[in-house]
Amino acid sequence: MTRTTSTVLTLVRRALLALGLPAVLFAVWWFATAGSTDFYVPPLSTVLGRFGEVWTGERLLSDVVPSLARLAAGYLLAVVAGVGIGLVVGTSRVVRDVLEPVLELFRAIPPPVLVPVIMLFAGIGDTMKVIVIVSGCIWPILLNTVEGVRAVDEVLSDTCRSYGITGPSRLWHLTLRSASPQIVTGMRQALSIAIILMVISEMFAASNGLGFTIVQFQRSFAIPEMWSGVLLLGLLGFVLSLLFRFAENRVLAWYHGLRRAQRNP
Amino acid sequence: MLTKTLAGAGTDRGPGGPGGGRSRRTPAGLVTPLRGLAGLTGLVALLEVLPRTPLVSADYLPPASKTAEALWRLLAEDAFWTALGDTLTGWGLGLAIAVAAGVVAGIVIGSVPLLRAVTASTIEFLRPIPSVALIPVAVLLYGTDLRSKLLLVVYAAFWQVLVQVLAGMQDVDPVADDTARSYRLGTWGRVRYVMWPTALPYVMTGVRLAATVALVLTITAELVIGAPGLGNQIAVAQTSGAVPRVYALVLVTGVLGVTINLMARAVERRALHWHQSIRREG
């Protein structure tokens, strides 16, 4: 009996800790802007009221879905290409030495400047946006894969060789496995770059999409609608990072377990 | 662990060290940079040849020599140096504010367990919000002013630092902390002599990440909002069809990025020269 009450109490305490501050902040925002007559800072109630109106129905299909589709296409292509090229570059020392400075230079170019360059090649259509996303977020994935492949444990590598594990099964069971924590780190960095590039490419030149619509609202001084768009982008970033963490915890469960075991022997 | 250090010793040692048996004529330390140089030369050659083939039109990708020419002309312009100055001002100021705020907030939150528990969910919520979402807000509030650049840069860079500082504060050795307590070190003393040295490597990582993110957001603000700087120069060059100039400017931003990276690493090494991770490499 007492044990259940104490678990309930811990749960309540944790819920209070997790939700307390967000609730307070939300309330502050709500009440501070409640009677706001400032044109640029409309009451939160108005913003939330518009939120449902603006982002459900027609606009969901015409703007939100295309944006998400471009994001997904660009990100997935970058992951596949980044890991693929990274494996090739990482396994050969010569290739790695030759390409590393070039790759570092490409990685150091701030991805948004690629938008005008790629517009030259690909116009302002969907292809341009997908290429922009791929070319911006491939670098952290690629370089982290290289790094991960390079750091494969030598004992494991020798063990594999002496058991005659070669070719695809070596790649799958040894190389990719040992590099996966690094690859996932690269993928996490790439995800936030991908969101930035999706929004910017749409703000810069587009005829639909989240970034485009939000800038339209701002230019036509539809302020509550604009704020609702800002909220939606924030929510999108948050949800995607939650999904990523969920996937990471499943894929890298073995690694996190190993780390914990090493920390408290 | 041991095998890794041993394996690394042969390759990372400078020309002065006992040469790793890889090649007899060139010292082992020279092979890697030479190969890298070959890679860069190859890239330039590729960029020179590719536009002359039917594969890529020279209208979109000018030969490397044209880009170099544009870059040369760019370097003689006052407008370019002003733009570079604007970009560096936005970057430096934004980074400084973000690092100061992130370190102070991180130490305060990290040293009070209750505060940490209360703020955890809020930080987890605010951190992944893409700072580009703030672009319309920045435009409305500040227009193309320096402040709209700073809003984006500080928001993006602040979280990088804060999260690292928090991670560092959590890493404090409980034995060291208890020892400090039994020697009656006050809160400030413990922050100064126990927590800060533990957190410093994390802080440095945070600063390095923040420096890169800050550059990206500075350029973004210039490109999209039109605040003066390199990003704006690129947008103008692109609209006016000066393609080689676009590439020259992109190259400048890339070199800027590499420089910032190298500088951040150098600062990290200096600040952490006493730390194990750096000493082992040396």
Residue B60: which of A100, A121, A151 has the nearest Cβ?
Answer: A121
**Are the C-beta atoms of residues B132 and A200 closer than 8 Å to each other?**
yes
Helical residues (DSSP H) of A151-222, grouped into ranges: 154-162, 167-170, 177-204, 210-219
The residue assigned the tokens 């302020």 is A223
CB A120 within 8 A of CB B246: yes
- A196–B216: do the CB atoms touch at under 8 Å? yes
Quick: pLDDT tens for A164-176: 888 888 888 888 8
Q: Phi-psi region for residue A56, left (φ > 0), alpha (ψ -120 to 50) or beta?
A: beta
Report how far residue A211's alpha carbon sits from residue A231's, in angstroms, rounded to the nearest whole number: 12
Is residue A21 within 8 angstroms of chain B, CB to CB? yes
Distance from the Cα of B137 to chain A's closest Cα (Å) equals 8
Closest CA to B198 of B164, B227, B226, B172: B172
Can you list the domains of chain A with their CATH numbers? 41-263 (1.10.3720.10)
CA distance A250 to chain B (A): 19
- Please provide the average confidence, as pLDDT, over all residues in chain A: 85
Is the CB of A246 inside 8 Å of chain B's CB atoms? no
A43 phi-psi bin (left φ>0, alpha ψ -120 to 50, beta other):
beta
- What's phi and psi for B56, nearest 5 deg? -125, 135
Query: What average pLDDT does chain B have?
Result: 83
Q: What is the pLDDT of residues B71-103, one digit of tens each?
A: 999 899 899 999 999 999 999 999 999 999 999
- In tens, the pLDDT along B164-197 reads 898 888 888 888 888 988 998 888 888 888 888 8
Q: CATH code for B69-281?
A: 1.10.3720.10
A179 shares contact with chain B (CB less than 8 Å): no
B interface mutation test: which of A10, A39, A94, A109 has the most B CBs within 10 A?
Answer: A109
A249 close to A256: Cβ distance less than 8 angstroms:
yes
Domain ranges of chain B: 69-281
Q: Which of A18, A110, A199 sits opposite B216 (nearest CB)?
A: A110
Most confident segment among A148-162, B84-98, B114-128: B84-98
Residue A40 with chain B: CB contacts under 8 Å? 140-141
The answer for A123, left when phi > 0, alpha when psi is -120 to 50, beta otherwise, is: left
- Among chain A residues, the shortest Cα distance to B117 is held by A17
Q: CA–CA distance from A82 to each of A67, A79, A183, B33, B40 (Å)? A: 22, 5, 9, 24, 20
CA B93 to chain centre: 14
What residue type is A135 in one-letter code? S
Q: What tens digit of pLDDT does each residue of B228-261 get?
A: 999 999 999 988 888 899 999 999 999 999 999 8
Residue B263, helix vs strand vs coil: helix
| Rounded average pLDDT over A108-136 | 87
Partner-chain residue, chosen from A113, A119, A241, that has the shortest CB–CB distance to B250? A113
Mean pLDDT value of segment A195-207: 85
Residue reference for tokens 């390409």:
A99
Radius of gyration (Cα) for chain B, nearest Å? 24
Q: Do A155 and B3 touch (CB under 8 A)?
A: yes
> What is the maximal distance between C-alpha atoms in chain A?
75
Q: Which residue has the tokens 């400017």?
A: B249
Answer whether B253 sits within 8 Å of A113, measured CB to CB: yes
Q: Which region holds residue A164: left if phi is over 0, alpha if psi is between -120 and 50, else beta? A: left
Partner-chain contact A21 B38, CB within 8 Å: no
Task: Give yes or no for residue B10 having a pLDDT over 50.
Answer: no
Q: For residue range B142-173, what is the model confidence (pLDDT) as tens digits?
A: 888 889 999 999 999 999 899 889 888 888 88
| CA–CA separation, A27 and A20 (whole Å) | 11
Confidence of residue A213 (pLDDT cuts 50, 70, 90): confident
d(CA A27, CA A31): 6
Residue A111 has its nearest CB partner, among B60, B61, B216, at B216
Residues of A in contact with B260 (CB under 8 A): 108
A84 in contact with B, Cβ within 8 Å: no
Structure ipTM over 0.90, yes or no? no
